[in-house]
Amino acid sequence: MASTQDSNSAATMKKSKGKVNSTAEKEFVFEFRAGKHNCVLKVPLQFPVQENISDLHGRLMLLHKIPCYIENDLKTYLSNFIERETILDYDREAELSLQRLTTGDGDVNQLTNAWTRSYVETTLEHARPEEPCWDEDFADVYHELIHSPASDTLLNLEHNYFVSISELISERDMEIKKLQERQATEMDKVMHELGNTLSDQDVNAVASQHFDTQQVLENKWASELKQVTGIQKHEYQEWVISLHQDLQKSNSSQITEEIKVQPSQLLELEDSGARMFEEQPQLEESFTIHLGAQLKTMHNLRLVRADVLDFCKHRRHGSGGAKLRRLQTALSLYSSSLCGLVLLVDNRVNSYSGIKREFATVAKECTDFHFPFLEAQLDEVQQVLLYARAQRSSKQKEQPEIPRNGGDDKNKNVERNPSNILPGEFYISRHSNLSEVHVVFHLCVDDNVRSGNITARDPAIMGLRNILKVCCTHDITTVTVPLLLVHDMSEEMTIPWCLKRAELVFKCVKGFMMEMASWDGGISRTVQFLVPKSISEEMFYQLSNMLPQIFRVSSTLTLTSKH
């Protein structure tokens, strides 16, 4: 079984993946015995060898039909041959370089600079120390202060800033309302004169003037709010750093009185506003469940009837419970027990309409002292989305087209507007200025969620699975999920529709939670199922009775003593 070089394999082996200074062809010779025959394998190799030795060995075995019992010997001999010849080539090039240097053909200064640069860039002792990051330093300082007696001072200062922003927003709303009323009166007069002394063009001109005036006013207030929140954020961060430094130097509790609202004043505010801002009774049911076949994990489930933005809003005249919630949110801001909320949005990454606009309004009511403002985060999401779409389209062009059911419509939607997201996809925003939430998952859904025929493979359901997976990998231990996959009730959402949708989401979330054990090792979590505020009490308690039938609820034991 004699073998010589194969033209195809030789041509393949001569391909070079990188640029080299000099190449040389050397013949690899391997002798072996196959039965009674003495065989010789001869293959020309191009040095330096740019390809993987294992791949080269595999092609030699396949193309030349080498017996399998020779495989290990061939690989060892081939590796040794390549290593030996490569070292000889390097030694030869080194000798030539030294000869050029001694004869004066080389530039000593250039070589010295090249060697110095290479040594400095590849050795750790010469690496530049990492520059301190302001965000990380501020996070460490804040985390230390919020877990100290100075926490009350921090919360009072944040509350003062919140009140000032709320007053500014109230002034803005009042001025815009007065402008709209004045414009409405003026438009009524114009419409009354339509056909007499004024024409349609005059009406359009007045309407255009009203629109421009309102836009100027809104832009003016938006600019002022942005400037005030920027100043507040800078002052707050500087004050926190200064307070931390002063506490380290003096270790005195008197410093915490620098900026602090008197307790009597806070109580007066709370009492005066308690009646005006009295919260509507909130329906909720809590359950403790165990999931898992052998290693069981305990989780907490809550069924809550509330508005989705109630988890985000701060109250200007809050009760003691509101202050405790704010303290709890601040304490866990830089911890492994974050709180998340699923917000159902459309496919546009902005805050111009619907629930997105309402959420953006709530987010602007209180300055975020730790993370970028919502608009900046959305701009970053847009950039990442466009980059991801470009990468995906380039990969699809390189790969052969594979027909998929339903994939054509999605591709057409992406091609039509690559800045939009698809149903089931979501983006994340981070917040420190919301009442009970640190992370918001903006889950894209379409009108299909309002139909009654969605399945467990629906994009919205799969989006919930991916959100729970992110929660497991990023220390989000409490997540609020819209049980019916809607935030508002409509006429087609009958009692059978609600029961069917709730059963589907309950079962799917249960399966996803059982997967969590493989994602995070079985950490106890809290999942809050949120139903719209307009749902009836009867419907709420029907859903409450359904939950224990799907999840394994822990049973209580009553211990009695024998007399």
Mean pLDDT, rounded, of the chain: 81
Higher pLDDT, 438 or 271: 438
Alpha carbon 257 to its chain's center:
38
Quote the Cα angle for 466-471-477, to 5°: 145
Q: Taking phi first (over 0 means left), then psi (-120 to 50 degrees means alpha), and beta for anything else, what does residue 492 get? A: alpha
Q: In the structure encoding, which two tokens stand for residue 407, read together?
A: 């994939």
What CATH architecture is 284-393+417-550? 3-Layer(aba) Sandwich (3.40)
Q: In a 10 Å sphere around its CB, with 0-12 CB exposed, 13-18 middle and 19+ buried, how is residue 115 labelled?
A: exposed
Closest CA to 351 of 364, 363, 360: 360
Confidence of residue 411 (pLDDT cuts 50, 70, 90): low
Share of the chain above pLDDT 70, in %: 82
- Over the stretch 211-260, which tens digit does the pLDDT of each residue have? 999 999 999 998 999 999 999 999 999 999 988 888 887 755 454 454 44
Sketch the domain layout of the chain as residue ranges. 24-126, 136-260, 284-393+417-550
pLDDT per residue over 201-219, tens digit each? 888 999 999 999 999 999 9
Return the pLDDT at 296.
79
Mean pLDDT in residue range 474-503: 92
- Please return the burial class of 501, using the count of CB atoms within 10 Å of its CB with bins 0-12, 13-18 and 19+: buried
DSSP annotation string for 431-457 = -SSSSS-SEEEEEE--GGGGSS---TT
Q: How far is CA 558 from CA 122, 286, 287, 289, 366, in A?
A: 68, 20, 18, 18, 48
Q: How far apart are the first and last CA of the chain?
A: 96
- With 0-12 / 13-18 / 19 or more C-beta atoms within 10 angstroms meaning exposed / middle / buried, residue 437 is buried
Q: Is the pTM of this model over 0.75?
A: no
Distance CA 165, CA 158 (A): 11
**Environment class of 466 (CB within 10 Å of its CB; exposed 0-12, middle 13-18, buried 19+):** middle
Tokens coding 238: 């500087």
> What is the number of alpha carbons within 13 Å of residue 310 lying toward its C-beta?
16
Alpha carbon distances (Å) from 402 to 267, 370, 396, 477, 547: 67, 45, 10, 39, 42
Residue of 77, 78, 71, 82 whose CA lies nearest to 34: 71
3-state class of 537 per DSSP? helix
Total Cβ atoms within 10 A of residue 506: 20
